[in-house]
A and B are shown apart, each in its own frame.
Chain A
């Protein structure tokens, strides 16, 4: 392969945390270090560990770190959970005390009904699901075509996809908005349509390169064997490549869903109709017009789903975050 093809590969490659930092062959040892906690080869060696002063220091340091993480990571969420069922006046007067005048479960039901959270939640789920679907379709078909099928113009397409990584999303804000107002070949504006969020989400170069990179590393013999058995490109895609790519699709899915759940500016611009807006857009609009207890209950309701998702598929999240630095910006 010439360098023009290698560029995208190595760029996507280097995003993976292990790649840029280790010499070849070091990986098994590094991997085992994470799995066997008693192994030496950490900053604090076993010899260090035998010294009582070191042991006591490291134990107390661990505790300090744990306490700091509990306060910073869990603290605000626990406070939110408490405040969501606390009468507004208590939260205002004594924000740090524990239920001085009892609980107000009614906050939750008031938030749900008066703020029409159900509809916003359904919108959020719809937007996330559609954005996820678009990203998966584009990333898998594109990755497959660019990595396995490899037509002669694949290099040009790969380069063009890669180059969009260099362009910050802010440049797209206004022209993309105008494109949504008057999309080519559609004939009517996509404003207030979920397609306005779904389709641009599909144009995610990072996904395409991540999946392409993954396909590049699948053993070619499998494709050749399938071809000998008479499988065409569609069959190969559906029965072999897709099932094999489950791990990378998990990472892409988590990214896609969380990004859609978090997004604010873009849905705010293209979905001015309150009936279409997701939670992230609705909440700031309503924040000023409802009672504090109700608002905090609404914030709490909006946080439950992503936090639960995180707790269930934690491993995928953390793996994704490790190689996801390049998504920012």
Chain B
């Protein structure tokens, strides 16, 4: 038995017969890789390839698939709903940035200065993240009750504000969705920021203090520049996440009122599995592939970033 480290220590064998292959660990290598190869092969690599093929085909699962060239793409690009979905998804992403980007940062910076029971703070911030998303949406759906006795309208009523129609109105539906999504996700971002904040070398603050920098100056000239990398990272992650938003529009509003919360993923779902449209797998995959190309560029940017930090 050559041993498992042989791949490192011995030069490549010239002629590899089946026996020496097994003896050299070739068989056990393959046995250990088998779960990865099978599961990724069947449930990841094969479907990815199939998505590209299907976007060029017309399938109804009954008759054989037909090659239709770029027809699916043409069909999707001329669908008037696409523009609506694009605009809504962009609006969702923008609102999610406005609500969800600065708040976790401010919270994390304040929390990092807490001296006692910081664990309690982190736990409280993270608690909404562990609530199952479906439960959160159903709960908030009730909170958003448009009548004056709705939960939010009652609370706002104490301050003489409202009542608001929340999900019932075209202009307030999307912000309501984003508010819930932000509540559900902010805790995770806070923890990422906290981890980054504890990693800032304390010498930098000491040096700034020695130079007589005020607290505000330290935040501006030490904390924020040191967080630059992780801020960009969460920005990209948030864009990737929000452009695939599905659960909130699907369960809160089903895309309504009058398509004001129809998002790209909801449109894909409707093409493939929707009640009325349904079964148009070609259009669904064509739109998925287009979305994937855009997100792939973002992901590639994310990987370049993480790699260059690790290298520096």
Q: Which residues of A contact B (CB under 8 A)?
A: 7, 10-11, 13-15, 17-23, 26-27, 29-31, 33-34, 37-45, 47-48, 54, 58, 61-62, 65-66, 68-70, 72-74, 76-77, 79-80, 92-96, 134, 137-138, 141-142, 144-146, 148-152, 157, 160-161, 164-179, 181, 183-184, 199-200, 202-203, 205, 208, 220, 223-224, 227, 232-234, 236-237, 258, 261-262, 264-265, 269, 279-281, 283-284, 287, 292, 295-296, 299, 302-303, 306-307, 309-311, 314, 317-318, 321-326, 328-329
Closest to B143 in A: A76
Query: Would you list which residues of chain B between 141 and 170 have a CB under 8 Å from chain A?
Result: 142-143, 145, 149-151, 154-155
A236 CA / B154 CA spacing, docked (Å): 63
A29 contacts B203, C-beta separation under 8 Å? yes
Complex partner residue of B154 from A42, A96, A224, CB under 8 angstroms: A96
Q: Is B82 an interface position by the 8 A CB rule?
A: no
Complex partner residue of B1 from A11, A232, A329, CB under 8 angstroms: A232
Q: Which residues of B contact A68 (CB under 8 A)?
A: 107
A19 CA / B39 CA spacing, docked (Å): 30
User: Besides A20-B229, A168-B240, A325-B234, 19 other CB < 8 A contacts?
Assistant: A13-B306, A18-B199, A20-B309, A22-B200, A30-B199, A41-B203, A43-B222, A45-B209, A76-B183, A77-B131, A145-B29, A170-B288, A227-B5, A265-B246, A283-B135, A303-B131, A306-B132, A307-B130, A317-B130
B202 contacts A29, C-beta separation under 8 Å? yes
A328 contacts B33, C-beta separation under 8 Å? no
Q: Is B116 an interface position by the 8 A CB rule?
A: yes
Q: Which residues of A contact B244 (CB under 8 A)?
A: 168-170, 329
CB distance from B227 to the nearest CB of A (A): 8
In the A-B complex, the 10 residue pairs with the smallest Cβ-Cβ separation, listed nearest first, are A41-B202, A20-B309, A14-B306, A17-B195, A142-B36, A329-B240, A322-B195, A175-B47, A145-B32, A73-B124
A177 CA / B279 CA spacing, docked (Å): 12
B8 contacts A202, C-beta separation under 8 Å? no
A171 contacts B289, C-beta separation under 8 Å? yes
Which of B73-81, B90-98, B294-302 forms contacts with chain A?
A: B294-302
Closest to A236 in B: B4
Q: Is B35 an interface position by the 8 A CB rule?
A: yes
Q: Which residues of B contact A58 (CB under 8 A)?
A: 113
Per-residue interface assignment for chain B, residues 170 to 210, with 1 indicating a CB less than 8 Å from any chain A CB and 0 otherwise: 00000000000001000110011011101111111110010
Q: Is B133 an interface position by the 8 A CB rule?
A: yes
Interface of A is mostly: helix
Closest to A58 in B: B113
Q: Is B128 an interface position by the 8 A CB rule?
A: yes
Q: Which residues of A contact B121 (CB under 8 A)?
A: 65-66, 69
A95 contacts B154, C-beta separation under 8 Å? yes
CB distance from A125 to the nearest CB of B (A): 13
Per-residue interface assignment for chain B, residues 84 to 126, with 1 indicating a CB less than 8 Å from any chain A CB and 0 otherwise: 0000000000000000000000010111111110011111111
A77-B131, A174-B285 known; A149 vs B35 contact (CB < 8 Å):
no
A19-B309, A168-B244 known; A134 vs B42 contact (CB < 8 Å):
no
A149-B4, A164-B44 known; A69 vs B125 contact (CB < 8 Å):
yes
A170 contacts B134, C-beta separation under 8 Å? no
Complex partner residue of B39 from A10, A80, A134, A172, CB under 8 angstroms: A134
Complex partner residue of B188 from A39, A43, A167, A325, CB under 8 angstroms: A325
Complex partner residue of A43 from B1, B196, B198, B219, CB under 8 angstroms: B219
16 A-B residue pairings within 8 Å (CB atoms): A17-B196, A17-B199, A21-B230, A41-B202, A45-B205, A74-B124, A145-B32, A166-B299, A173-B268, A175-B51, A179-B46, A205-B44, A220-B5, A233-B25, A265-B269, A284-B138
A279 CA / B145 CA spacing, docked (Å): 23
Query: Would you list which residues of chain B between 220 and 268 have a CB under 8 Å from chain A?
Result: 222-223, 226-227, 229-230, 233-234, 237, 240-241, 244, 246-247, 250-251, 265, 268
Task: Tell which of A41, A237, A303 has the most Cβ of chain B within 10 Å.
Answer: A41
B196 contacts A21, C-beta separation under 8 Å? yes
Complex partner residue of B138 from A149, A283, A323, CB under 8 angstroms: A283
CB distance from B243 to the nearest CB of A (A): 8
A66-B121, A265-B246, A326-B237 known; A20 vs B28 contact (CB < 8 Å):
no
A227 contacts B237, C-beta separation under 8 Å? no
Task: Tell which of B119, B131, B134 has the most Cβ of chain A within 10 Å.
Answer: B134
B50 contacts A157, C-beta separation under 8 Å? no
CB distance from B216 to the nearest CB of A (A): 9
CB distance from B81 to the nearest CB of A (A): 17
B110 contacts A172, C-beta separation under 8 Å? no
Q: Which residues of A contact B110 (CB under 8 A)?
A: 61-62, 65
B201 contacts A22, C-beta separation under 8 Å? yes
A169 CA / B149 CA spacing, docked (Å): 40
